[in-house]
Amino acid sequence: MPTAAQDSVKALVERVYRNESRRILATLIRLLGDFDLAEEALHEAFFVAVERWQRDGVPDNPRAWLVSAGRFKAIDGLRRRARFAASQAALISQLEELEQADWSEEDLEDDRLRLIFTCCHPALAADAQVPLTLREICDLTTEEIARAFLCAPATIAQRIVRAKAKIRDAHIPYQVPSLGELPERLDSVLRVVYLVFNEGYSASMGAELTREDLTHEAIRLGRLLLELLPEPEVMGLLALMLLHESRRRARTSATGELVLLDEQDRSLWDRELIAEGCALVEHALGTRRFGPYCLQAAIAAVHAEAATAGETDWQQIIGLYDVLLRAMPSPVIELNRAAAIAQRDGPLAGLERVEAILARGELQDYHLAHSARAEFCRQLGRVEPARQAYLRALELTRQEPERRFIEKRLEALNAL
């Protein structure tokens, strides 16, 4: 094969890995019943694909081909190990079961939903469920997950290792639970899907502000969950994701720079997503059985329905934050409420609340808290406190568009 054709195949394999590897991994985990074995099989399958696709051509269904290749590589490896293992009989039995296993394209589509429910099984420690899912479903690094939890990477890594061992040793089933079991498992799953969306909507680090693959996957999973269990909080989560996603095109400039909400070109907002999201919010709130996701979606809907930033109903938003804080106390929600109060009552009112939150120590390592303090100080003409707060935010930020935004703010302050 000519070099150009070889390079084309390699580029295709890399693209399939970026777009499909987590789907393939989820299916391999189902077929093999072991996270580590599936990871090994996944990488072997992609290694083989480079050679085979150059020689034989690209298959019609690359994802199915890679699942098959990974599966057979894993079976070959297990056979080799079985010759020397004390538990040879058990391994051989496992091999026979694997060889009889079957899957379809529909299975491949739903495997990540099955994997989420496995990772959120109630037998697993609550503080391990979400990190494990983010690692296996989204391929987030332990550092990225740790930032989402404001936690040390080593702690996250230990939780993931323990959770994998628990799934293996307790033979936790790889399946979507029955309708009767769904409600008790739903909270963890909704939390995971929302964290997946958040990482896509505002990536914790890297050159890009967003990761569209993650937001689309989270929305797809939200739709699947709504089909399984049309509960108000499922509606609320899907609505929240749709309403945030509707603003994607307006959140960055043509050159990739961050654009704040009140400065966004609202003609770029996706009106179809807004209409769908608002309809879900209305339906969910009408049940009077709503919770935190519905309330957050209602806040997003108020923003979405304002034709201009100046027409935003900040009084309604603050009222919704008050209800949300009673339902789900959180310093991050307090921070968002402080920003809304600043819009209604001025920057001094916002600054007082942000400084009170920071004084408690809960958000000392959260860059957006320091950014908010810096912005309010800047608006009040307090140049040096603003500079110090921006410098602290810059120190904590790992995302390039946010870093550039803060650096521009600092340059403007230095010019005063």
DSSP letters for 136-187: HHH---HHHHHHHHT--HHHHHHHHHHHHHHHHHTT---SPPPTTTHHHHHH
| pLDDT at residue 90, as a whole number | 57
**Cβ count within 10 A of residue 64:** 16
Q: Looking at residues 165-193, what average pLDDT do you find?
A: 83
Residue 75 vs residue 222, higher pLDDT: 222
Mean pLDDT is highest, among 17-26, 217-226, 289-298, for 289-298
Residue 106 vs residue 390, higher pLDDT: 390
Helices (H), 83-125: 88-100, 105-119
Residue 182 vs residue 61, higher pLDDT: 61
Lowest mean pLDDT among 108-117, 249-258, 282-291: 108-117
- pLDDT value at 98 more than 60: no
Supply the pTM of this predicted model. 0.76
What is the tens place of the pLDDT at every residue in 334-361?
999 999 999 999 999 999 999 999 999 9
pLDDT band, very low/low/confident/very high, at 10 (cuts 50, 70, 90): confident
- pLDDT value at 118 more than 60: yes
Q: Looking at residues 231-251, what average pLDDT do you find?
A: 96
The sign of the dihedral angle between the CA atoms of 232, 238, 241, 247 is negative
Q: Render the burial of 165-182: b for 16+ CB within 10 Å, e for the rest.
A: ebbeeeebebebbeeeeb
Distance between CA 225 and CA 231 in Å, rounded? 9
Q: Looking at residues 171-177, what average pLDDT do you find?
A: 82
| pLDDT at residue 88, as a whole number | 44
Percent of the chain with pLDDT over 70: 90
Q: Looking at residues 107-115, what average pLDDT do you find?
A: 70
Lowest mean pLDDT among 3-7, 20-24, 285-289, 321-325: 3-7
Q: Amino acid identity of 250? A: A
| pLDDT at residue 196, as a whole number | 83
- pLDDT value at 207 more than 70: no
Look up residue 133 and give its two tokens. 């899912």
- pLDDT value at 307 more than 90: yes
Phi, psi of 208 (to 5 degrees): -110, 145
- pLDDT value at 145 more than 90: no
| pLDDT at residue 389, as a whole number | 97
What is the tens place of the pLDDT at every residue in 369-413?
999 999 999 999 999 999 999 999 999 998 888 999 999 999 999
DSSP-derived 3-state class of residue 57: coil
Question: Helix (H) and strand (E) counts for the chain?
Answer: 19, 2
Q: Does domain 339-416 have CATH number 1.10.3470?
A: no
pLDDT band, very low/low/confident/very high, at 319 (cuts 50, 70, 90): very high
